[in-house]
Amino acid sequence: MKMSDIVAQYIMRMLDETDGNAEIQRNELANTLGCVPSQINYVITSRFTPEQGYIVESRRGGGGYIRITRVTTDRRVAIMHIVNSIGDRISSSSAYTILSNMSDRGMITEYERILISSALSDKAYSSITQEKRDILRAAIMKNMLITLVVLENR
């Protein structure tokens, strides 16, 4: 198992044991797990993002910490948060990651994940330049996710 997976699992356990809130001292955690502090930073910035349902706060200095909070909101609010975080363009790999995380967290069904993923795949946009693909993909992804929210309100 990779060190980044070990760090992520350790943090996830901490979040599970503390009802979704964990305070981490980076150097202390690195010593506990036998890795370098930059590995902790990498895991937090890549696996504990707002798109994945986490808020990360940090305070630097001797008594500094990193606070990770698992966002627990209703499905509609969480989806709209993701829509607002997408921006003007998105790559197929980023879209796939967001959809996989949404599926893992129960925000969308596996059927919805597969359907949306197929509509956002590079194969679907093969006749369009890469820059325009990413712009079009972002617009379509936002529209599809908003449609899920609208349909849920009916």
For CA atoms 127, 139, 85, 77, the dihedral sign is: negative
Question: Are 36 and 63 in a shared domain?
Answer: yes
Tally of domains in the chain: 2
Question: Other CB atoms closer than 10 Å to residue 147's CB: what's the count?
Answer: 11
Question: Are 113 and 53 in a shared domain?
Answer: no
Question: Are 11 and 66 in a shared domain?
Answer: yes
Could you give the 3-state DSSP secondary structure of residue 102?
helix
pLDDT, average across residues 60-79: 79
Q: Give the domain-ending residue among 70, 103, 128.
A: 70
Q: Where are the beta strands (DSSP E) in the chain?
A: 21-24, 54-59, 65-70
Question: Are 139 and 117 in a shared domain?
Answer: yes
Question: Are 49 and 101 in a shared domain?
Answer: no
So what's the pLDDT on residue 62? 65
Which bin fits 106, alpha (ψ -120 to 50), beta or left (φ > 0)? Answer: left
Mind giving me the DSSP string for 21-51? EEEE-HHHHHHHHTS-HHHHHHHHHHHS-GG
Question: Are 34 and 93 in a shared domain?
Answer: no
- pLDDT tens digits, one per residue of 99-141: 998 898 788 999 999 999 999 999 999 999 988 999 999 999 9
Q: Give the domain-ending residue among 70, 90, 124.
A: 70
Question: Are 47 and 102 in a shared domain?
Answer: no
Mean pLDDT over the full length of the chain:
88
Domain CATH code at residue 26:
3.30.56.130
Helix then strand count (H, E) for the chain reads 7, 3
**Residue ranges making up the domain that contains 65:** 3-70
Q: Give the domain-ending residue among 26, 50, 70.
A: 70
Confidence (pTM): 0.60
